[in-house]
Amino acid sequence: MTKSPRTFALALYTAACIGCSHEDSSRQPSGQAPGAAPRGQEDTAIAQPVTDSLPGSWCVPRTVASLAGIATYSPVESVQAVLGVPLRRDSGRGEDDGGVYRTTILRFAHVAVHIDDRGYGVERVEALDTTVALPGNIRLGMLLSEAQDRLAAPQVDRALEERSNHEVWIASVCGEGDAPHLYPSETESIYFYINEAKRLSGIALTNYGP
């Protein structure tokens, strides 16, 4: 059953993480996701996809959805090949329409990678400090408005939401349609968590099912 792009299922992780809320719709098992993860870029110029002008039709280019060379569509086997041996391995769990499922959380020096143990691959990549950035040099500590400007987010798509007691801006990643006309993915998003000063306190790439 396909849900609307703003329907979320509750994620319940036993290990600590910043706001683990689930995005919607079904995912493909690991290995069927499109493309390989792009390496991080420091260029602040971000090429924008062509989208409809309706609210909710804007999306972030897939080339932006990468932290430390890892994206939510990266093959699981590429994670340690790119990042090396994790400093710690934790167990977690999530819940969606299929019920409760187990996850593995790999914690590296600068990022944490959450893997769905059912075979759906990487479902979350979190920035842990300011040494890692999204392409466009978007990193923790930056004003949210500056990050939104660098992503050329329309004003109508800049609304904040409340997720697990965190104020967050959720930007959908482009995934559906044929270039140059692309549409928001129903599963992939970037969560930008903000503090009282409206600065980024967390960045997480997510790929959640219903």
pLDDT of 27 reads 54
Least confident of 34-38, 101-105, 125-129, 199-203: 34-38
Give the C-alpha distances (Å, rounded to integers) separating 126 from 65, 98, 130: 11, 24, 11
Rounded to two decimals, the pTM is 0.76
* pLDDT (mean) for 98-109: 94
**How large a percentage of the chain has pLDDT more than 90?**
57
pLDDT of 163 reads 87
pLDDT of 87 reads 97
pLDDT of 194 reads 97
* pLDDT (mean) for 130-148: 97
For the chain, state the CA radius of gyration. 16
Q: Domain-by-domain residue ranges, the chain?
A: 62-207
Q: With cut-offs at 50, 70 and 90, classify the pLDDT of residue 20.
A: very low
Q: With cut-offs at 50, 70 and 90, classify the pLDDT of residue 50.
A: low
Q: With cut-offs at 50, 70 and 90, classify the pLDDT of residue 210.
A: low
DSSP-derived 3-state class of residue 155: helix
Q: Tokens at residue 110, please?
A: 């600068």
Q: Which is it for strands 88-96 and 99-107: parallel, antiparallel or unpaired? A: antiparallel
70 strand-pairing partners:
67
Burial of 1 (0-12, 13-18, 19+ CB in 10 A): exposed
Q: b/e per residue, 166-189, with b = 16+ CB within 10 A?
A: bbbbbbbbbbebeeeebbbbbbbb
Give the whole-angstrom CA distance, residue 141 versus residue 197. 10
* Residue of 83, 92, 88, 86 lying closest to 116 (CA atoms): 92
Average confidence score pLDDT of the chain: 80
CB 67 within 8 A of CB 40: yes
The answer to whether residue 70 scores a pLDDT higher than 70 is: yes
Q: With cut-offs at 50, 70 and 90, classify the pLDDT of residue 164.
A: confident
Burial of 16 (0-12, 13-18, 19+ CB in 10 A): exposed
Give the whole-angstrom CA distance, residue 34 versus residue 9. 23
pLDDT of 202 reads 97
CB 157 within 8 A of CB 53: no
Least confident of 50-59, 109-118, 158-167: 50-59
pLDDT of 7 reads 35
- The CATH code of domain 62-207 reads 2.60.460
